[in-house]
Amino acid sequence: MLSKRSLSAAFTATALAALSFAGPATAVPVMNGAAAAAPGGCVGPAFSGTLGPGKAICAGDYLVRMQTNGDLVLRKISTSRACWASNTNRAPGDASATFGNGLPLAKPSVTITSTSQGQLTKIWGAHRAPHNGTNANVNLKGEFWIGYKKIGSC
pTM above 0.95, yes or no: no
Please answer whether residues 104 and 114 qualify as being in contact, where contact means their C-beta atoms are separated by less than 8 angstroms. Answer: no
Distance CA 109, CA 150 (A): 12
Q: How far apart, in Å, are the Cα atoms of 18 and each of 7, 13, 125?
A: 16, 9, 39
pLDDT in the model for residue 53:
93
Q: Which tens digits make up the pLDDT trace of 92-106? A: 788 999 999 877 778
C-alpha closest to that of 96 among 111, 116, 85, 109: 111
pLDDT band of residue 90 (cuts 50, 70, 90) is: confident
Q: Which tens digits make up the pLDDT trace of 15-74? A: 333 322 233 333 333 434 444 567 889 999 999 999 999 999 999 999 999 999 999 999
Distance CA 73, CA 86 (A): 7
